[in-house]
Chains A and B, each alone.
Chain A
Amino acid sequence: MTQTTPESTGTAPAPQGTLFLDGEAHAFQPGETILEVARRAGKTIPTLCHDPRLEPAGACRTCLVEIEGMRRLMPSCAMPATEGARVTLESARIDRHRKSLLGLYLTDHPEAETVAARRRPNLLLDMAERYEAPTDWPKMAPLRASRSGDTNPYIDFDAAACILCARCTRYCDEVESVSAISLAERAAQTTIATADSRSLLDTTCEMCGGCIDTCPTGAMAEKRPITLGAKHEQELTKVRTTCNFCGVGCQLDLNIDPEADAGRGRIVKVTSPPVGTTTNDGNLCVKGRFAYEFVHHNERLTEPLVRDEQGQLVPATWEEALARIAEGFGRVKERHGADSLAFVSSSRCTVEENYLVQKIARASMGTNNVHQCAAT
């Protein structure tokens, strides 16, 4: 076996140069921005419109830094790292700028109680609190239109909570590439719209929910938890697991309300893990993000069933059902031999369960007749 186990794809080129962040030297690689170098070095630079999956927009101005030799503050998300650059991440000037900027954002943003109704984290309010932004500036009259009458059951848009960072529309263009939503109208009326304000159901939208995942304020949010009045995302228990649909193996977080459904617990929503930590890179599709209601469906089987003498399936205890199996398989094996039995396992079940099915076929019953639907 000549198998090797590389540390990386072998694609990472050697560091290209060095820049200075608050006086400290940091190596950077070709194509990296100042923000990327800083975050890799564990520095905190606040951002609202930045998403590593998207091209830099430089729109929200929260990531401004001082670069020696440049007169104005510059957006670190859009500035390429250059050899010898001296960058200041924290200064009185930056702090002053940030406070005013966040204060201005807040004049066009609903109160915390209204925002909480979205049941999603709000990065703007967190940031305003952390940087002690002024909260008492007079509020603007909200002029952005939401899309009333959109009957799609999954994605809800509240224009009031939108800060027009355009992460959702850029995600729709650049990542999902269906361009179902875009910025529309002008000035204070600018909003996120579909063609002719149609329901998302009647657009090219594939309901991947990437707009929700990337939204920093919860303007884009899961509709079901809102209409059901579920708990806020922060009060839910996240269980990281692997999606049960296709073979990509997306990691997802089941957001569980453990007290719901008389203590059995209930999946309130599904969110994706942070960008860059899993194979799916923060992305999910419509099935992964929204198709979990079947778990709680009232047609789930809750009792073993056995066929009675009239040919009807009737409820039975586990003991009865297992005894029937022992008797049934025993009888077939005795009459026709082990190879008259076959086991159909499932590529939907876990590795452990597939292991047990083949072990039962081989070790308990003595046949290699075991397969599943997926051996193409």
Chain B
Amino acid sequence: MKVQVRGLHKRFGKTVAVDNFTFSFDNGHVFGFVGPNGAGKTTTMRVIATLEEPTEGDVLINGISVREEPEYARRSVGYVPDSLPAHNDVTVHEYLDFYARAYGLQGAKRREAVGAVEEFTGVTGILNKHLKALSKGMKQRVTLGRALIHNPDVLILDEPAAGLDPRARVELRELLMVLATQNKAILISSHILTELTEICNGVVIVERGKLLESGTVADVLKKSTPHRAFAIRVLGEASTLVKELLQTPHVINAREVGGEVLLELEGEESAGCELLSALVGKGFKIAEFKQSKANLEDIFMNVTKGGVQ
């Protein structure tokens, strides 16, 4: 199952919400969809979920166009919107049962699917509660259950962690990690980038309706942060080390921060080893030498310029 977003444009009157987005993700990929408010994330997700029609371009889900054959494309997609249902006249079980029927599941197959989803999302204890009476975390689980009821290959989650308490967030993250192991193609948007870092192996960065970067985290990282960052703790005067580093070729921007020396280094991974051996050779007593790993937050800050439309 492959999701290909091709030259996607979406305009609302004169407002360009999505301007020529092109990216793709595959089975087993968990792609983080990040960008400030108004960047076009929700619109893109709604197009993939067949809720909106693109102005131009298309999205192919395993080769099926959401523009031309939305009825068929939507069989493979489960969508979790950024707001939650709050019916006071429908119980959790009835809600899931209805969607199972709506997706054409019948008889024992339906009961089995509903039971499996209820168990997976951990809502078995609240089946007879009305949706309005549920906490946000539980509503999110029910919504996720609804999106999974027909066992879709593609899962689109729009801000699933928004407004959840820390425990609910951790539980949701665990559910998503399990889903990722089930070989589903997952696109997830969130403002909490640290959370995405833990589960995503790919990223799409958008801002003001424009796509800035997309690809695996490693690829985007390479593109967005060409220099390697290191932190060195030295026994003795750190300022001497800073002076030495600033005179060393390929070292840029060395500075002392809280007893550590932070520096950026040009070149391949071996450049770090060479620097370390050179410093030791010059008599510096190196207590700690570590490479700082950039995360989604760093990538996001590097790539975006800030501002909303």
- Physical interaction between A and B: no
B residues contacting A by CB (< 8 A) are: none
